[in-house]
Amino acid sequence: MNAGTLLTVENLSVSFETEAGRVRAVDRLSFEVRHGEVLGLVGESGCGKSVTALSIMRLLPKPSGRIDSGRILFGGRDLAALPPEAMRSIRGRRIAMIFQEPMTALNPVHTIGRQLGEVYGLHHPEMDRPAVTAASLAMLKKVGIPDPAQRMGQYPHQISGGMRQRVMIAIALACGPDLLIADEPTTALDVTIQAQILELITTMQQQNDMSVMLITHDLGVIAETCQRVCVMYAGTLVENANVATLFDRPAHPYTRGLLDSIVRLGNRRKTKLPTIAGMVPSLAELPPGCRFQNRCPRVMDICRNVAPSLVAVGPEHMASCHAVEKELP
């Protein structure tokens, strides 16, 4: 752990109770978020990226969701072991989160003003009403909402999707958190609105000297907004690198397959697209060994028996793959 680390996830394992029994949604995950950076967490459905975010925020559904083991180190404390009252003073104040669907994340029967004011009420009870209103207006203005005074009295359904996302960002940043977790913040938005929101998140990150953990399935978003990235697959971390390295020298076969299968604007049209054969295994029926084995072009015997570990493949570059490990000097 270096001096620039803000949050460290150490061997985190999370499981859920399902009809098929206890299912491991995240398995021995380790990574860190550094001061002032935008870290991307990328992967497809079921990879565990959202579960990771919810675990950090201690927002896993109870009683089915559970942190089985591991630590989440933040500000000298292990968030995974914190009692609820202590976590409440961190959630929304030191670490904040925004979600994919602002319409479901915002309360439909409360005005924007009331929802924004609630954050101040929770974490800054010393502020009186005029102060809260003034701070709320300033926050709405900061996130680029036109005519903030009018918005304060409106309800979520009265404003557009992009506007709702801005409100959610305003609520998240109201108390100046050290870390913003953004879980697919633009996936439900049109691409031109996505560009606005990503620009806003980047600006806020720079202005407030904050770190951002950006969760997405879109590698284009990762390339444009993140400094470092973690690639997840079926609940495990398969690769961790800074952005330039990941796109230039992807090590893990899954990362390579993913990058190859992206439909790019500049490609030759109507050609056969590279794909990753097969599909993500059900988390309830995982084979022993590497979780990627049944889709991997480089699968070896050891992959079917022994799960690979994260090893360094270059400066600031780690991957979890037997084939890659074998090639290391």
Partner 1 sequence: MATSGLNLLEVERLKKYFPVRGGVFLRPVAHVHAVDDISFAIRPGETLGLVGESGCGKTTVGRCVARLYDPTAGAIRFDGTDLAGVRGAALRRLRRHIQMVFQDPFESLNPRHTVGTMLEEPFKIHRIGTAVERRQSVQSLLDRVGLSANAADRFPHEFSGGQRQRIGIARAIALNPRMIICDEPVSALDVSIQSQILNLLLDLQRESGFTCLFIAHDLAVVRHVSDRIAVMYLGKIVEITDADTIYATPLHPYTRALISAIPIADPAAKRQKQVLPGDVPSPSAPPPGCRFHTRCPHAAGICKTVEPALIPAPFSPAPDHRVACHRAEELMKKK
Give start and end residues of each alpha helix (H) in the chain: 49-56, 84-90, 102-105, 112-123, 129-142, 148-152, 161-173, 191-207, 219-225, 243-248, 253-261, 322-327
From 149-157, 168-176, 258-266, 311-319, give the range in contact with partner 1 by CB under 8 A: 258-266
Does 114 help bind partner 1 (rule: CB under 8 A)?
Answer: no
According to DSSP, the residues that pair with 23 across neighbouring strands are: 16
For partner 1, the closer CB: 99 or 254 = 254
d(CA 278, CA 224): 29
Q: Which residue type, as a one-letter code, is found at position 201?
A: I
Does 270 help bind partner 1 (rule: CB under 8 A)?
Answer: yes
- Tell me how far, at minimum, the Cβ of 180 lies from partner 1, in Å: 19
Q: What are 227's two structure tokens?
A: 């400094």
- Tell me how far, at minimum, the Cβ of 155 lies from partner 1, in Å: 16
- Tell me how far, at minimum, the Cβ of 145 lies from partner 1, in Å: 11
List 1, 3, 109, 263, residue binding partner 1 (CB under 8 A): 263
Q: What share of the chain is helix, strand, coil (3-state, %, to 5)?
A: 40, 25, 40
Ranges within 10-39 binding partner 1 (CB under 8 A): none
Does 262 help bind partner 1 (rule: CB under 8 A)?
Answer: yes
- Tell me how far, at minimum, the Cβ of 135 lies from partner 1, in Å: 25
- Tell me how far, at minimum, the Cβ of 193 lies from partner 1, in Å: 7
d(CA 82, CA 283): 28
d(CA 13, CA 28): 5
- Tell me how far, at minimum, the Cβ of 291 lies from partner 1, in Å: 14
Does 59 help bind partner 1 (rule: CB under 8 A)?
Answer: no
HSE (side-chain half, CA atoms, 13 Å) at 82: 22
**What three-state secondary structure class fits 241?**
strand
d(CA 50, CA 46): 9
Does 257 help bind partner 1 (rule: CB under 8 A)?
Answer: yes
| Interface mask toward partner 1 for 197-236; x: CB under 8 A | -xx-----------------xxxxxxxx------------
Does 315 help bind partner 1 (rule: CB under 8 A)?
Answer: no
Residues at the interface with partner 1 (CB under 8 A): 44-45, 160-163, 190-196, 198-199, 217-224, 243-244, 247-248, 257-259, 261-267, 269-270, 272-276, 279-280
